[in-house]
Amino acid sequence: MADENPSHSAPDAGKEFPNEPSPLKDRAPAPPAHRRSKRRRNILILIAVLAVLVGGLFLWRYLGSYESTDDAQADVHLYPVSARISGYVVKVSVEDNQWVEKGAVLVEIDPKDYEVAVAQAQANLASAEATAQSLNLQVPITSVNTVSQLKSTASDIENATAGIIAAERQVAAAHAQLEEAEANDIRTQEDLRRYKLLVDKKEVAQQVYDQASAVAKSSTAAVVAAGANESAAQQFVQQAHSRAVQADANYQSAQTGPRQVSSSQARVRAAIADVQQKRALLEQAELDLQYTKIVAPVTGEVNKTVVVGLNVQPGQQLLTVVPLDDVWITANFKETQLRHMRVGQRAEIHVDSTGQTLKGHLDSVAGATGPLFSLLPPENATGNYVKIVQRIPVKIVLEPGENRDRQLRPGMNVVPDIYLQ
> How does pLDDT run across 227-285, given as a tens digit for each residue?
787 777 777 777 777 777 777 777 666 666 566 667 777 888 888 899 999 999 999 99
Residue with the bigger pLDDT between 268 and 322: it is 322
Per-residue confidence (pLDDT) for residue 8, from 0 to 100: 41
Mean pLDDT of 145-174: 74
Q: What share of the chain is helix, strand, coil (3-state, %, to 5)?
A: 55, 20, 25
The rounded distance, in Å, linking the Cα atoms of 185 and 145 is 58
Per-residue confidence (pLDDT) for residue 159, from 0 to 100: 75
Fold of 67-76+323-419: Elongation Factor Tu (Ef-tu); domain 3 (2.40.30)
Q: What integer best gives the mean pLDDT of the chain?
A: 81
The rounded distance, in Å, linking the Cα atoms of 183 and 177 is 10
Residue with the bigger pLDDT between 194 and 60: it is 194
Phi then psi dihedrals of residue 180, to 5 deg: -65, -40
Assign 22 to helix, strand or coil.
coil
Instruction: Pick the closest to residue 362 from 399, 334, 389, 390 (CA basis).
Output: 399
The letter for the amino acid at 299 is T
Residue with the bigger pLDDT between 389 and 32: it is 389
Lowest mean pLDDT across 51-60, 118-127, 358-367, 398-407: 51-60
Per-residue confidence (pLDDT) for residue 41, from 0 to 100: 80
Per-residue confidence (pLDDT) for residue 25, from 0 to 100: 46
DSSP string, 160-176: HHHHHHHHHHHHHHHHH
Mean pLDDT of 304-332: 94
Assign 5 to helix, strand or coil.
coil
Q: Which residues contact 34 (CB under 8 A, 6 or more apart)?
A: none
Per-residue confidence (pLDDT) for residue 141, from 0 to 100: 62
Query: How many CA atoms does the CB half-sphere of 261 hold within 13 Å?
Result: 14
Q: What is the DSSP letter of 406?
A: -
Note whether 257 and 180 are within 8 A (CB): no
Q: Which residues contact 328 (CB under 8 A, 6 or more apart)?
A: 74, 75, 76, 360, 363, 395, 396, 397, 398
Assign 218 to helix, strand or coil.
helix
CA angle at residue 377 from 371 to 382, to 5 degrees?
Answer: 115
CA angle at residue 165 from 163 to 166, to 5 degrees?
Answer: 65
For residue 359, what are the β-bridge partners? 348
Q: Give the model confidence (pLDDT) of 352-378 as tens digits.
A: 998 999 999 999 999 888 778 777 776
Q: Give the model confidence (pLDDT) of 162-173 as tens digits.
A: 777 877 777 777
The rounded distance, in Å, linking the Cα atoms of 349 and 216 is 146
CATH class for the domain made up of 81-109+291-319? mainly beta
User: Model confidence at 2, in pLDDT bands (50, 70, 90)?
Assistant: very low
Per-residue confidence (pLDDT) for residue 292, from 0 to 100: 96
Mark residue 317 as left, alpha or beta (left: phi above 0; alpha: psi -120 to 50; beta: remaining).
beta
Lowest mean pLDDT across 55-59, 157-161, 352-356: 55-59
The rounded distance, in Å, linking the Cα atoms of 188 and 179 is 14
